[in-house]
Amino acid sequence: MIMKNLLGLWLLLVATTVYGQEFKKKIPAYRYLYVSRGVEAHLVYSDADEVTIRTKGLQPEDIIVEGGHDELRIKVATKGLWQEMQDNYWWVKVEIPYQQLEGLEVKTGAKVWADRSLRAGRLDMRVSMGARAELTIEADDLSLEVSMGSVVELAGSADYLNVETSMGAEADLRKLTAGKVRAKANMGSQLEVTATEEFDGQASMGSEIHLFGSPERFYRSTSMGGEIIRK
């Protein structure tokens, strides 16, 4: 009987490790979202008060979901576990309901995407340390920082866009139509933007800015091998 129970537990452990598991955690209302350490986040417009987490190789206690003061943070518990995820091809996928976002930070190999447009008056985004973001955004004022090998692809529109890329990052914003754009690229980064009214750009240290659209006002500054190219 004992051997039979042990066999059952072993089979359950194997199934959980190989095929993954699903569980839910309650969350508070929030306006600022932080995702890190390899978490793949799917944003879903909803008033639900819990996230759905699917994992392979990790247990519920390995995923930190904490909130308060209008913030929600989701990440793998430790840097050691994040390293194990990479070594063993484990993963964490989280479906996150949202109502209103004013801030979004994605870092340390995490990824964020959504099925529908994110609508905001003002939205501050930071993507760093090899993270990725693929979103459609409709905003009055969008601020974006992309650094350390991260990759961002945005579509949609913004009245005003302030974007900065650095340290080998790539930002493809060709499908994000912005009225006024202030852009800065440095340290080997690549930036593609579309402006319709005004463009003010700086490129340095081997970086490139590719400008699409025909803005009425155009200002640029380059140094140390940086380039600004009108398409």
Domain co-membership, 131 together with 74: no
Rounded to 5 degrees, what are φ and ψ at 27?
A: -135, 155
pLDDT of residue 20: 75
- For the chain, what is the radius of gyration of the CA atoms? 21
Asked whether residue 188 is assigned to any structural domain, the reply reads: yes
pLDDT higher than 70, residue 102: yes
Q: Do 93 and 126 belong together in one domain?
A: no
CA–CA dist 229, 231 (Å, integer): 6
Tell me: do 108 and 210 sit in the same domain. Answer: no
Write out pLDDT tens, residues 178-223.
999 999 999 999 999 999 999 999 999 999 999 999 999 999 999 9
Share the mean pLDDT of the chain: 93
Instruction: Tell me, yes or no, whether 125 and 225 share the same domain.
Output: yes
Q: Of 57, 87, 116, which marks where a domain is finished?
A: 116
Question: In which region does residue 89 sit, left (phi positive, over 0), alpha (psi from -120 to 50) or beta (all else)?
Answer: left
Distances 77 to 37, 90, 162 between C-alpha atoms, Å: 8, 14, 33
Amino acid, res. 51: V
* Whether residues 158 and 83 fall in one domain: no
Res. 173: pLDDT tops 90: yes
Instruction: Over range 41-64, report the average pLDDT.
Output: 96
pLDDT for residue 16 is more than 60: no
Out of 9-18, 128-137, 156-165, least confident range: 9-18
Residue 152 CA, chain-centre distance (Å), reads 7
Say whether both 97 and 137 belong to one domain: no
Q: In 10 A of CB 99, how many CB atoms?
A: 11
Question: Residues 140, 230: one domain?
Answer: yes
Same domain, 44 and 149: no
Q: Is residue 26 part of a domain?
A: yes
Residues 81 and 139 in one domain: no
Q: Is residue 12 part of a domain?
A: no
Domain presence at residue 4: no
Same domain? 77 vs 134: no
Contacts of 131 (CB under 8 A, 6+ apart): 36, 106, 107, 108, 109, 110, 111, 112, 150
**Residue range of the domain that includes 136:** 117-231
Provide the pLDDT for residue 213: 97
Q: Is residue 32 part of a domain?
A: yes
What's the number of domains the chain is made of?
2
Residue that finishes a domain, picked among 62, 96, 116: 116
In a domain, 231, yes or no: yes
Residue 181 main-chain phi, psi, to 5 deg: -125, 130
Distance CA 13, CA 17 (A): 6
Spacing of C-alpha 58 from chain mean position: 22
Helix, strand, coil percent content, the chain, rounded in steps of 5: 15, 60, 25
Q: Are residues 84 and 70 in the same domain?
A: yes
Distance, in Å, from the CA atom of 96 to the CA atom of 118, rounded to the nearest integer, reads: 13
pLDDT at 18: 44
Residue 17 has pLDDT above 50, yes or no: no
Provide the CA 211 distance to its chain's centre, in angstroms. 23
Q: What is the CATH number of the domain that holds 99?
A: 2.160.20.120
Q: Are the CB atoms for 98 and 79 separated by under 8 Å?
A: no
| DSSP secondary structure letters along 75-141 | EES-HHHHHHHHHHT-EEEEEEEES--SEEEEETT-EEEESS-EEEEEEEEEEESS-EEEEEEEEEE
Identify the residue with better confidence: 108 or 4.
Answer: 108
Residues 208 and 124 in one domain: yes
**Structural domain ending residue among the three candidates 116, 140, 171:** 116
Distance CA 59, CA 168 (A): 34
Q: Please report whether residue 5 resides in a domain.
A: no
